[in-house]
Amino acid sequence: MSSATSRRSNTARRIAAGWLVAAASVVQGCGAAKPASPDPVLVVNALYQDHFAHQQNWERTYQRRRALFAPELRALLDADARAAAANADEIVGLDFDPLTDAQEEMTSFQVAPVAPRGDGALAHVLLLLDTARTNVVVKLAPSNGGWQVANLEYAHGDLVSLLRRLAADRRRAKP
């Protein structure tokens, strides 16, 4: 076998392997109960890669990847989305992208090595909007041999606390 034929064969195998990984990612995103990867860095990278690949549309990313979110966070996000849908003429609930802590579309991201924390893990995500930098800490919890996003921490607080506060405000505002 010539070296050119060998290179083409290796390239074809790498392309096929890439398609298999992509197909597995799509299948995982569609399945409701599939466990996440045993490596928390892969979970966070997959989530952000998917988000950036689809114009950072939070609602659509959440629909595709909801299995990557822990049950408590999923319940809070679902309640917030229902409240927003019921009040289409006004801003109710989240008014920013929880994955980027921004209203603008970010230009890039980097996931730092994951740090173990108790029985969970923390992943620091650096987000860039041109030269402006934002940091989000993704708190991960173990789940079925994999990892799920349990919370997102920002410089101004965290997502779970914010969603709880918004829900409490909605309950107080009801007549």
Question: Pick from 149, 150, 106, 154: which is nearest to 127 by CA?
Answer: 106
The C-alpha atoms of residue 38 and residue 28 are separated, in whole angstroms, by 13
Residues constituting the chain: 175
Q: Give me the tens of pLDDT residue by residue for the chain, a chain 175 residues long.
A: 444 443 334 333 333 333 333 333 433 444 444 445 678 999 999 999 999 999 999 999 999 999 999 999 999 999 999 988 887 777 778 999 999 999 999 999 999 988 888 889 999 999 999 999 999 999 999 998 899 999 999 999 999 999 999 999 988 877 6
Burial, 14: exposed, middle or buried (Cβ in 10 Å; 0-12, 13-18, 19+)? exposed
User: Rounded to the nearest 10 degrees, what angle do helices 71-86 and 159-173 cross at?
Assistant: 40
The C-alpha atoms of residue 161 and residue 114 are separated, in whole angstroms, by 23
The C-alpha atoms of residue 99 and residue 57 are separated, in whole angstroms, by 10
- CB-CB contact of 141 with 115 (8 Å): no
Going by the DSSP 8-state scheme, the letter that residue 36 receives in this structure is: P
Res 31: pLDDT: 41
Amino acid identity for residue 151 in this structure: N
- CB-CB contact of 152 with 137 (8 Å): yes
Res 5: pLDDT: 40
Res 94: pLDDT: 92
Res 121: pLDDT: 96
For the CA atoms of 40, 144, 82, 164, the dihedral, rounded to the nearest 10 degrees, stands at: -70
Res 39: pLDDT: 87
31-173 has CATH 3.10.450.50 classification: yes
Res 82: pLDDT: 92
Domain boundaries, the chain: 31-173
33 three-state secondary structure: coil
The C-alpha atoms of residue 123 and residue 136 are separated, in whole angstroms, by 8
